[in-house]
Structures are given as C-alpha cells and as structure tokens.
Amino acid sequence: MNEITLTKMKQMKLYGMYGTFNTAIETGKTDDYTLDQFISMMIEAEWDDRKTRKIERAIKNARFHYKSSIENIIYEETRNIDKNTLLRLAECGFIEQNENIIITGSTGVGKSYLATALGYQACIEGNRVMYFNTTKLFSKLKMAKADGSYLKELAKIERQHLIVLDDFGLQLLDSQNRIALLEIMEDRHNKGSIIITSQIPVQGWYDIIGEKTIADAILDRLIHQSHRIELGGESMRRKRKLVNQKIV
C-alpha cells in the first residue's frame, strides 16, 4: 500500500509529500504522530518544496550573469553603501511601488554584484525578474526587429516585475536603440521596476541617449521614481585579485 501511495505521489508531482512520507516509512516513525500532525507535516513539506522550486525557476528564468547575495555585500565606508537603506531595498517594497534603482560608480566597484544581489532577493520574494547586459539586449532587439519577434520580446520584458539593465552607457545609442529604450521605459512606467547600473554619472546620460526630446522622456520616467546608489572606493575585483595572490 505504501509503495502504491509513494508512486502516486511521484506521478502527481507531490515531491515534498513524497520525501516526507518516504523518510517516515524508512525511519519507522509513522506511528510517532497523530493523524492531524502527520497530515500537517506532509502539507508543510509540500508547501516548502513548491516554494523552493518556484524560487529556483525564477532565478533560472532571470538568467543572471553570476550568483550574488545581499548577505555577502561588503559595507566599507569608502564604498558609500548605507546598510540600512540596502536592507530596506532588499525587502523589495520598491517593486510594489513600481520604483527604480540607479547604481553608478567606476569600473570594478561592485555595481553589477549589487544589482544582481537585489535581483536574487526579488526572486526569493516571489517576483518575476530578468537580467540583461544592456548592449546585448539592444543587439537582441535589433535582431528581433529583423525577424519579426520584436513585439514578442518587448511583451516578455513588460511581464517582468523587475528588470536589471547592467552596464548601461558603454556605447552611444543609435536611433533604433533609443526608441527601444523609450518603449521599454513607457511599458514599465508605473507598472514595473528597473535596476540600472552604469559607469557614467546620471548627468552624462543625455549624451549617451542622444536626441534631447527622447532623452527627456526616458530619464523623466526613470529618474523621478528612483533610489540612487553612487558606489565609491577602489576596485573590488582588484582587491580580490590581491587577496588571492596573498593566499597563494
């Protein structure tokens, strides 16, 4: 009877229940609980398993460039990161309010790591997230224009609760990329959040975007509902390299 039950649990994809019931049988502890306790334990195991798998799917679908976490952020004074502010952002209330986060700073100071850590946290909190290298995103959208899938790609971006645009401003925007960015901003205005990282200070973004009218429209939608983090300090990559050399 137990084997049949376990088989049916697997077929119904009740993996949390399956694991708990199988363990209870193997350890001989099925009689250690009242019926209601055992049912409660099975339901709790299934709940936790589904929640874990949902988070894993969200992280996989986000396509982060690498793994990072809020717990591993370094709060050195020179980095200009306020811990209380960051922990408050990690609660992801900014997503509920359709607000944005702009992270600027020189090369290697940890902009991408910080943005990715907030993205991971958003996945854990149950949000749909997608990570993009901005230059590669624009290239992808140009290809989508050519093959007719452009609107489909924009719709996929629009469905996300949060998108991360990493390394914005490495290249000046041409007319096609400028319009694509404006459409993304319009789709997300008051409906979704953006985390954007850049080596270029915000005041230099007008030159990156180009045409003043479109730049005004883009930055108006992005900046006025944003939290600003301006990272300082020396390159974290250089620090890690020096530490690794000392270890060796």
pLDDT per residue as tens, the chain (248 positions): 788 888 888 888 888 888 888 888 888 777 777 888 888 888 998 898 889 999 999 999 999 998 999 999 988 888 889 999 999 999 999 999 999 999 999 988 999 999 999 999 999 999 999 999 999 999 999 999 999 999 999 999 999 999 999 999 999 999 999 999 999 999 998 899 999 999 999 999 999 999 899 999 999 989 888 999 999 877 665 555 543 444 43
Domain assignment of residue 116, yes or no: yes
Domain assignment of residue 247, yes or no: no
d(C-alpha 220, C-alpha 218), whole Å:
6
Check whether residue 45 and residue 128 sit in a common domain.
no
- The Cα-based distances of 18 to 27, 52, 129 in angstroms read 14, 15, 30
Domain span at residue 40? 2-62
Tokens, residue 25: 């049988």
- The Cα-based distances of 161 to 35, 62, 96, 99, 136 in angstroms read 41, 11, 9, 11, 20
Check whether residue 57 and residue 75 sit in a common domain.
no
Domain assignment of residue 158, yes or no: yes
Domain assignment of residue 35, yes or no: yes
Side chain identity at 118, as an amino acid letter? L
Check whether residue 218 and residue 95 sit in a common domain.
yes
Q: Are 133 and 62 in contact (CB under 8 A)?
A: no
110 three-class SS: coil
- Last residue within a domain, chosen from 20, 38, 62: 62
Long-range residue pairs from 214-218, CB within 8 A, at least 24 positions apart, any chain: 214/178, 214/179, 214/182, 217/182, 217/185, 218/178, 218/181, 218/182, 218/185
Check whether residue 168 and residue 228 sit in a common domain.
yes
- Assign residue 116 the CATH number of its domain: 3.40.50.300
29 three-class SS: coil
Domain assignment of residue 206, yes or no: yes
Check whether residue 49 and residue 156 sit in a common domain.
no
Check whether residue 205 and residue 238 sit in a common domain.
yes
pLDDT of residue 248: 39
Phi (first) and psi of residue 66, to 5 degrees: -155, 175
Check whether residue 51 and residue 77 sit in a common domain.
no
Q: Cα 163–57–43 angle (5° rounding)?
A: 130
Check whether residue 126 and residue 171 sit in a common domain.
yes
Check whether residue 108 and residue 184 sit in a common domain.
yes
Give Cβ neighbours of residue 104 (< 8 Å, ≥ 6 apart). 111, 197, 198, 199, 200, 201, 202, 228, 229, 230, 231
Domain assignment of residue 188, yes or no: yes
Check whether residue 161 and residue 235 sit in a common domain.
yes
Domain assignment of residue 6, yes or no: yes
167 three-class SS: strand
Domain assignment of residue 248, yes or no: no
Check whether residue 190 and residue 113 sit in a common domain.
yes
Check whether residue 7 and residue 81 sit in a common domain.
no
Tokens, residue 138: 């624009």
Q: What is the dihedral sign for C-alpha 169, 170, 176, 181?
A: negative
Q: Are 75 and 229 in contact (CB under 8 A)?
A: no
pLDDT of residue 241: 52
- Total tally of structural domains belonging to the chain: 2
d(C-alpha 62, C-alpha 220), whole Å:
26
pLDDT of residue 29: 74
pLDDT of residue 240: 57
